[in-house]
Structure 1
Amino acid sequence: MLSDNIQLLRKRAGMSQEQLAELTETSRQTVSKWESGESIPDVIACDRMAEAFGVALEDMLHYEEKNKSLPLPPKGKHMFGTVTVGARGQIVLPKKAREVFQIKAGDTIMVLGDEAQWIALVKADDMIDFVQQALKMANQKDKN
């Protein structure tokens, strides 16, 4: 898992083991041991790698690409997997998605659509705030 992710991310970034060793202030041999699973990096080295590769530290440590059909996502981006649409159009958001975005029972979600881009889910309160701000700015422009 971690060893696979280090190797995958290093190669994806076009880095050699020597370059990764410089970044983590270790040796090429140490990086080789991390990638083969003979040893594991310390938390500081993991943090440096996650930052350099642009992925979340948690994903670098725990993401198993082999068990998921999706590649390791960039930091701040999430791929929660797939859901099945029910007969009446209902979907169940994955638990991790609900946790990351703090979605709980009773929340109101606005469904937006763009036929070229597809569907987006937005917290209704956030969308209402956005629209009110936009209207306020438009009114101020009209007054000037």
Structure 2
Amino acid sequence: MIANNIRFLRKQENLSQEKFAERFGVSRQSVAKWESGESVPDVLKFREIAEYYTLSIDVLVSVPLDGLDANENTADGKYIFGMTEVTQDGQVKIPEYARKVFDIHAGDRLIVMGDTSRGGIALAKISLGDMKTE
């Protein structure tokens, strides 16, 4: 999972292994070994990577950020798509794999729902035909 997450984060920014390595002060070979699963970053480097991407170390190590591992067990229709960040103006980037699964494209309309007793917010894709006016 660590290898996939590091590769996913690097590719999300369209960075080469060399540019990713420069960002975190390691060699390109180190990044290649992390991505192949041959080795893992040390704890301080884990923290630096996690902080840069506003993730916890736990998420970086155990949550499939690319959604691929989550896709293996989706008979019940439940997914973990990874983490996202709310911008200063309240915008949220929906992970690419979630957009693919739910066929969400630029310009689509989403309804935002929440349940304070469960501490959650949900999004649902709607079409204008789904909205009834009275």
TM-score by length of 1: 0.51
More helix by share: 1
Separation (CA, whole Å) in 2 of partners of 1:53 and 1:7:
13
Gaps of 5+ in 2: 71-78, 87-91, 93-109, 118-134
Q: Does residue 115 of structure 2 align to residue 121 of structure 1?
A: yes
Separation (CA, whole Å) in 2 of partners of 1:6 and 1:58:
13
How much does 1:54 deviate? 2.9
How much does 1:32 deviate? 0.4
1:66 aligned residue? 68
Secondary structure of the structure 2 residue equivalent to 1:47: helix
2:21 aligned residue? 21
Is this contact kept in 2: 1:56–1:75, CA < 8 A?
A: no
- Does 1 or 2 have the higher relative contact order (CA < 8 Å, sep 6+)? 2
Larger radius of gyration: 1
Gaps of 5+ in 1: 78-115, 124-144
How much does 1:118 deviate? 4.1
Instruction: Give the % identical residues.
Output: 32
How much does 1:75 deviate? 5.5
Secondary structure of the structure 2 residue equivalent to 1:73: coil
Amino acid at match of 1:66: L
Separation (CA, whole Å) in 1 of partners of 2:13 and 2:30:
19
Change over 3 Å in CA distance of 1:49–1:117 after alignment to 2: same
Matched ranges for 1:1-144 at <5 A: 1-64=1-64, 65-68=67-70, 69-74=79-84, 117-123=111-117
Could you report, residue by residue, the CA deviation over 1:67-100 in whole angstroms, capped at 9, with x for unpaired residues? 31443212589xxxxxxxxxxxxxxxxxxxxxxx
**Number of residue pairs the alignment of both structures matches:** 85
Could you report, residue by residue, the CA deviation over 1:35-89 in whole angstroms, capped at 9, with x for unpaired residues? 0001010111111111222323211111133331443212589xxxxxxxxxxxx
Amino acid at match of 2:68: K
How much does 1:11 deviate? 0.4
Separation (CA, whole Å) in 2 of partners of 1:20 and 1:31:
8
Separation (CA, whole Å) in 1 of partners of 2:80 and 2:52:
21
Query: Alignment RMSD, CA only?
Result: 2.3
